[in-house]
Structure 1
Amino acid sequence: MNKPSEPGDIASSLQFLKKKQGLPPVHNWNPPFCGDIDMRISRDGRWHYNGSPIGREAMVKLFSSVLRHDDDDCYYLVTPVEMVRIQVDDAPFVIVQAEVQSSDNGPEYLFITNIGDKVTLDKDHPLIMKEDSQTGEPAPYVRVRDRLNALINRNVFYQLVEEAVELPVEGGVELKITSQGEEYSLGRVEGGG
């Protein structure tokens, strides 16, 4: 196993990406695993190196562009020549804003992540509802790309709940939103209506 790289080394090997449009094809790269690096993404979407927040937004965007979530449920920064494992507390991104727009298929939700990525809620980028294992509260996510999700922050989730349609179900109502002609459930409310 090779010695893990430092963030500066990884950034240097990715300078060629700045000139290309779109995201690099990290799912097609199979470089050697070089070990763990002391990098962590906290639940609020902040990136940390050696316990300190990474303050340079451009560096965070560069690292996020080569992030991959593999079948072993681990997260890696992947370049054509090396792969290092990092820690992710929950999801690597956070949805910080939602806008409803008109489309040929009716209303559509456009989500914006903490690093500025824009994602339309659709079949390829679905809403995924989970339950927080510690609090039992709903934990909503949106698939951003490949196997990478974004946690919807509390304010955006409350916005979605306010805009949701209440559909009667046994014992209460189910809250649903529609985007690109698809319905997405935000969960059930007992005795609501």
Structure 2
Amino acid sequence: MPSKTANPATLQDVIARFGGAAGEGRKPPVHLWNPPSCGEIDMRIARNGAWYYQGSPISRPAMVRLFSSILRREPDGSYVLVTPVEKCIIRVDDAPFTAVEMTVSGEGEARLIAFRTNVDDVVPLDSEHPLRVVVNPETGEPSPYVLVRDRLEALILRPVFYQLVEMSEQREEDGRTVLAVRSAGMVFDLGEVA
């Protein structure tokens, strides 16, 4: 597909209207925008959450937050940066975000776990933002994810996942012993006990 860069004027319009970066004001209503595709651009999000443009890292956190606010996952699983007038396909190695920090408030049924992502979104672990764990069948290594918004997930980084495991409890489920954590009155499985 041909490479094309986003229209700077359009991007500036989005910044002005929606308050800029994720976590600073309203998110753009990307779910309502259905412009024509301008093809793929040479932008990639690595598994560790780093953003690259034409092979070079995007080192300005505000720019990464801005791009993250106009990111959408399409029904076919592809990722696009979308404005009211164009959308451009980008590559995502795993999940577009990483959960870099966790906070816990309350105890027992009143416990609430929340994650902060690499773009400073704060995501509670609840029914709207569930946790899922995918286990690599070859290595047995877990990859935990939390839903951030609209089919966009954050890979929970290993140190944060270890914190979840430390606060987990064992429970029996379908004849298996699993580790689970409680948050927002719900129970989330972390994986089977070996």
Give your verdict on TM over 0.5: yes
Partners of 2:173 and 2:36 in 1: how far apart? 52
The 3 A distance-change label for structure 1 pair 2 and 139 is: closer
Partners of 1:187 and 1:104 in 2: how far apart? 20
Partners of 1:139 and 1:10 in 2: how far apart? 36
Q: Secondary structure at the match of 1:60?
A: helix
> Conserved in 1, the CA contact under 8 Å of 2:81 and 2:87?
yes
Structure 2 match to 1:136 = 140
The 3 A distance-change label for structure 1 pair 183 and 33 is: same
Q: Secondary structure at the match of 2:165?
A: helix
Structure 1 match to 2:46 = 42
Partners of 1:16 and 1:103 in 2: how far apart? 41
Partners of 1:19 and 1:135 in 2: how far apart? 43
Structure 2 match to 1:71 = 75
1:189 partner amino acid: V
Q: Secondary structure at the match of 1:14?
A: helix
Determine which of 164, 169, 175 is the counterpart of 1:165.
169
Structure 2 match to 1:16 = 16
Alpha-carbon distance, 1:2 to partner: 8.6
Partners of 1:100 and 1:72 in 2: how far apart? 35
Alpha-carbon distance, 1:18 to partner: 4.6
Determine which of 164, 179, 184 is the counterpart of 2:188.
184
Alpha-carbon distance, 1:102 to partner: 2.2
Alignment root-mean-square deviation, CA: 2.4
| Structure 1 unmatched ranges of 5 or more | none
Partners of 2:89 and 2:18 in 1: how far apart? 22
2:192 partner amino acid: R
Structure 1 match to 2:179 = 175
* Number of residue-to-residue matches in the alignment: 190
What TM-score, normalized to structure 1?
0.89
Partners of 1:143 and 1:170 in 2: how far apart? 25
Determine which of 54, 57, 71 is the counterpart of 1:53.
57
Alpha-carbon distance, 1:128 to partner: 1.0
Matches within 5 A, 1:70-109: 70-102=74-106, 106-109=110-113
> Conserved in 2, the CA contact under 8 Å of 1:11 and 1:59?
no
Q: Secondary structure at the match of 2:27?
A: coil
Structure 2 match to 1:113 = 117
What is the CA deviation profile of residues 50-103 of structure 1, one whole-angstrom value per residue up to 9, with x for unaligned ones? 001000111100000000001111000000111000000000000011111128
The 3 A distance-change label for structure 1 pair 103 and 7 is: farther
What TM-score, normalized to structure 2?
0.89
Alpha-carbon distance, 1:37 to partner: 0.4
The answer to whether structure 1 residue 4 and structure 2 residue 8 are counterparts is: no
